[in-house]
Structure 1
């Protein structure tokens, strides 16, 4: 049985949806903290069990009869994240899984400027030490994060962020399709994958231009000093430690940690990855197309 954790979350849910187009529902199980949130999968014949990375006993039950376990990384940073991942890895090994898969990041490195990438590197070391074959899905940076960073730009007309470098912003839907393909073809990729990225690496200057074209509103990019951005975050209620970690995204992008573009995702998908312009068109609150294409911005860029 293929077990997927975090199936109530944005990525995990989409992975299960895609997986069900490839394998029978009876061969799929999900581990979720709140089973009711996965009721739609249960209704399709998927085995739904409660499991938490902070409760090893619950994972022993959730991972029972596992042939493969996909561990979707937690929304935490630092040692808390790594420890929870270790608990899940140990539970998968104890359950007899032939392979453990993990949603890592293209920038996974012990020397990364971005804390989660250091956490992913530590988790990959735990996978290597587990003694079980593993696949680490080195996902590109979520395109949804680029949308979030645009913040109030649709109202203010400005994207005010620290200096950045190019980032391979990649759609959740594509990463979910790739994970499902790898799960359905056990052993297709052993160890860390190449970077699973979209076809372009873009800066926020690029994104501002794309957002302008997609929405028909003029969006300009303004660079804020790192310390000013940190103070704005803290002033808005973000804990100081978290604000520092968020700044790490920009430091890492300036260092080129997220700039790689690789064809592996396209090969797994059998098509071109979704362009960021498409993601923006779908997720920004109001696009030119929504207004009936009354501006030249309805043309779109890159897809």
Structure 2
């Protein structure tokens, strides 16, 4: 049995969609906080169970019978993500899960300026100490976020950043498909697996590419961190979200998102979607 948490979300929901192309629905279970939102899977014959990392007592029964368990990471910035993940890992061990796959992140490191990367590193350590066979899917930074990471370049003609650095921007759709392919493999890798696009452009490259697609000159400017945060707040972003995003730029400048790996390309059997293609597609819209 393959069990997937967070299946009503964008990432693991698409992973279930990919699995359903090759796996009988009777071999799949989704664990979600609100089963009513998973009706599209239930109508296809997928078992739907309620499970919430914040309600650890119910998790072992939700994970019961899982040969493979895909744990999605918490995206609640206000929550103690590591504590939530720890509850899920304990439940997986209690349920006797055969192998846990966890949606981690490229650059997972205790010293990262990006808070979720520190949470991912701590969660991977929990998995390593759990006694369970485990795989951490270190997905590259999701490229769909570039639509807002580049800021109001259409109005200003400039991409303003508080720091620049290489990032292996990766398609969330590609990451979802890769997870589905791994879940059905006989020989699952153990430990971290880096799943990224094959290039790692800087924001200066992205600005040039959107300019080419929009048939205009788009520059890039370095802005003081405090000024960048104030601009983001003035544009309507909550202060906490602006400072959270600042950590992405700091981590990029520190090289935490710079590495690329052929594993995603090899799994997909094709070249992954590129950041250039993504930014040029929305620049033409």
Helix, strand or coil for the counterpart of 1:274? coil
Measured in 1, the distance between the counterparts of 2:231 and 2:55 equals 37
- 2:229 alignment counterpart: 230
2:272 is aligned with 1:273: yes
Aligned length: 285
Which residues of 2 match residues 74-93 of structure 1 at below 5 A?
A: 74-77=74-77, 80-93=80-93
Contact conserved, 2:209 with 2:280, CA < 8 A, in 1? Answer: no
2:149 is aligned with 1:149: yes
Could you list the per-position Cα deviations for residues 253-275 of structure 1 after superposition, in whole angstroms to 9, with x for gaps in the alignment?
11111111111111111111111
How has the CA–CA distance of structure 1 residues 79 and 111 changed in structure 2, closer, same or farther, with 3 Å as cutoff? farther
Measured in 1, the distance between the counterparts of 2:78 and 2:100 equals 21
Measured in 2, the distance between the counterparts of 1:121 and 1:202 equals 24
Contact conserved, 2:115 with 2:247, CA < 8 A, in 1? Answer: yes
Contact conserved, 1:78 with 1:115, CA < 8 A, in 2? Answer: no
- 1:294 alignment counterpart: none
Could you list the per-position Cα deviations for residues 102-157 of structure 1 after superposition, in whole angstroms to 9, with x for gaps in the alignment?
01111011111211111100000110111110000011111012222123323433
- 2:243 alignment counterpart: 244
Q: More displaced, 21-30 or 120-129? A: 21-30
Q: Extract unaligned runs of 5+ from structure 1.
A: 291-303
Q: More displaced, 92-101 or 54-63? A: 54-63
Measured in 1, the distance between the counterparts of 2:197 and 2:212 equals 20
How many angstroms does 1:43 deviate by?
Answer: 1.4
4+ residue runs of structure 1 moved beyond 6 angstroms? none
Give TM-score scaled by structure 2 length: 0.93
How has the CA–CA distance of structure 1 residues 238 and 151 changed in structure 2, closer, same or farther, with 3 Å as cutoff? closer
- 1:136 alignment counterpart: 136
- 2:254 alignment counterpart: 255
2:89 is aligned with 1:96: no
Measured in 2, the distance between the counterparts of 1:84 and 1:198 equals 29
Contact conserved, 1:22 with 1:184, CA < 8 A, in 2? Answer: no
